[in-house]
Amino acid sequence: MKQTDIYTEALICLKSILQADHPEFKNWIDWLERDIQDWTQHREVAHHLRAYGGMGSFNDLPSMRGDHDYIFGFLKSFCYAFGHLYGKRAGISPEILMKECLHDIGQTVYYPHKELNRAIINHLRQGDLQENLDKM
């Protein structure tokens, strides 16, 4: 069974939601595409982390439609947590760190939507969140 790269799946879904809900933000769509390439080709997260903080940052994007808004926020939190910890925890595999971050984000009190959390987490682990975004 193929191991799912949860971080890549999350980045792809962030890009997919943004393309569907706010295609006018081409700069952020392109930014996420570079993040995907940086990770899949070089295991690099620095570019993605530069998207957070300050005026006009990734955190300042407008709301997404319906449940996309919650899912987008969940994925942003996961990607930031993973990217922030990646490299600081020498000796731990990225896949194990992804699972730890996903578990921690799913358990936090900040996210009160337990059923939706479970669905997001399960689909990320299975590598099919993108195909199921509009079914949740």
Helices (H) and strands (E) in the chain, counts: 7, 0
Per-residue pLDDT, 2:
47
Would you say residue 48 lies in a domain? Answer: yes
Does the pTM of the predicted model rise above 0.85? yes
Top pLDDT among 114 and 132 is at 132
- State yes or no: pLDDT of 60 exceeds 70: yes
Would you say residue 1 lies in a domain? Answer: no
Would you say residue 134 lies in a domain? Answer: no
Would you say residue 136 lies in a domain? Answer: no
Domain count of the chain?
1
Q: Which domain holds residue 88?
A: 6-129
Mean residue pLDDT of the chain comes to 89
Query: Residues 102-115: what's their mean pLDDT?
Result: 74
pLDDT digits (tens, 9 = 90+) for 35-57: 999 999 999 999 999 999 888 89
* Token pair 């936090």 in the structure block, residue: 108
